[in-house]
Structure 1
Amino acid sequence: MKNSLFIGLSALLCFSTSFVSALPINSTAVGLVRRTQRKTDSGLTVSNVPSDWPDDATLTRVLASAPGKAFFWTGRNGGVSVEGKALLVAKAQGGNTLEGTLSSGGVIMPDFDFGNPETVRIWTVASKTFAELASGDSFVVTGRSTREGNIFHKDELPRLKRNRRINKIFKIDSTTARRTLVFDRNAGKLDAAANEANLRRDACLAKPPQLTIPRRSNSFRRDLSPVEKRAAPAARNQRRKAAAAPACPLPGAAQNKKVVPRSATASKVPRERTFPAGGKKPAAKPPAQKRKVARPANRPKRAPGKAAPPRKRTTPVKKPKKAAKPATKARGKPRKRR
């Protein structure tokens, strides 16, 4: 009995050791990590193995962009990130986003995880490098809701403003495709809020791109917490109460005609009639007499101060129905020939 038990435990230990050694693991990671890779909405490959992640020199080499072709993004629309929509907008304008540039360069990035400081550091370095190497006009695609302390407002926007090669920064609404100027270096002030009256002006895109993308199933997406589930209906109600954003008119579409209320228009005064010299003003026409209608016979005239008598109702006389003749045996017999 003891020998058979010892043989069974030895076989189980050998099998588990060979199975674990066959798994693709990272020797530098803490514990045994199963290698997993997936594609994001931008086509970027993310991995959980640190040996696949790039270094700072690789990011600096890959993230160089042409003037006016750098597109950033921040925010969500109903819980869905605008990363995919930002890539569509950038491709329509001949540019690219951070994730699209990394995907084109064949770089494998880590999946962003707040609990892993190394992944946060790599993504922060990539965002800062992308903003520092941008030039010309830059664009940011925004969603309806943004996270407090997001990477764009914390890391990318300050470096874009300090970058002397950046001329203007435009904000593009992901729902209406409306473009708004939020920063102009020639205005003399770095803070757009300090000179908002002169810096903010709206301009529609010449060719608004298609802003709908198929939603992909993501097995790595975590479930919403109870606090987020309660906050979602409140955010929807707040958006319903807010004024709707003006939609971008399509090219060549007829503009709505301005309606002027009748109270705002001046009333037309009829012109005064003129008469020949020495002539007399024609006499006014007598008021038209009302046409008299003959009173029906069944409606007597009411005496003053008294109520009118009730009208006599005449009911039609119902004629009795003719009784059907009883059937006889002679009816229906053929007539005899003469």
Structure 2
Amino acid sequence: MAYDAVVLVSFGGPERPEDVVPFLQNVTRGRGVPPERLAEVAEHYLHFGGVSPINQQCRELLAAVREDFAANGIDLPVYWGNRNWDPMLADTVAQMRDDGVTHALAFVTSAFGGYSSCRQYQEDIAAARAAVGPDAPMIEKLRQFWDHPGFVEPHVDAVKAALGQLDPAKRDSTRLVFTAHSIPTSAAANAGPHGGRYTAQLQETARLVAAAAAPDLPYDLVWQSRSGPPQVPWLEPDINDHLGVLAGAGTSAVVVSPIGFVSDHLEVVWDLDTEALETAKQLGLDFVRAGTPGTDPRFVAMVRELVRERTEPDGVDLRRRLGELPLWDTCPTVCCVSARRPS
């Protein structure tokens, strides 16, 4: 298959106060999120001037990928479109059509399987193509990368750097805490083809990072950023509740590593750097939050490697990964369907 472009597809975020509420309405449309929760999350964005860090992080990643492609002989233009805010994906797809693109690859800024982290991106790509019309380019999503060295190794080094900020005398009572975005338990248990992989893949990433960064320390995988209606069960424990349990059990210091994220966007800087940090202070826990891949050269190179897996004749032989879970290049249309939608 010949491809003539790559498109970076991300979540999107507001860049001024007046964007916040419309952005959140885009994100939560049809999800039954209570108005009070919407107002609460809006305050998180307004705390930072109504600007989410994610768009600037995407600009930096876009620039880094373009530079890496040029330096390594990949002659493909790289576009950028968001699911929930400007630049909207449909507008980007229209631009791609106007530029003569016919068959593109999509790199999605989510490493894991599941509905919100994978299938919904596929649905949004399909919706954007439908909005553009029959001459929209074909767009194929690149594979998930939860165990690719370019994703795992930056997290490993970030955990090592965070541990270096803690008191060595507290090493024996230090714990690693890995976090990811919580999802409804019904979504986590999805039993469709390749479904239900979100928690398993995160557990694999946590295992790989912990084994390479601090094999002598215990670790946990917990959850953050719950946003659904209170009557719907979501994955637990929440990071703040878990910190209380650890403090009660004698833990003196924690390194919190957001392995569910590729960059330090708002759910990292608010839920961890603000709320979880305050919880740790109240509990008397030493707390350091590890960084995310961002534009780490290994992460940027990973994008190139994923593209080459699809574009070169021996692409499968080029595949690099550290884990043992099943891996696939493309997903069936019934994979990881939303629990609130018919399958």
TM-score by length of 2: 0.24
Select the structure that is richer in helix. 2
TM-score by length of 1: 0.24
Q: Which has the larger radius of gyration?
A: 1
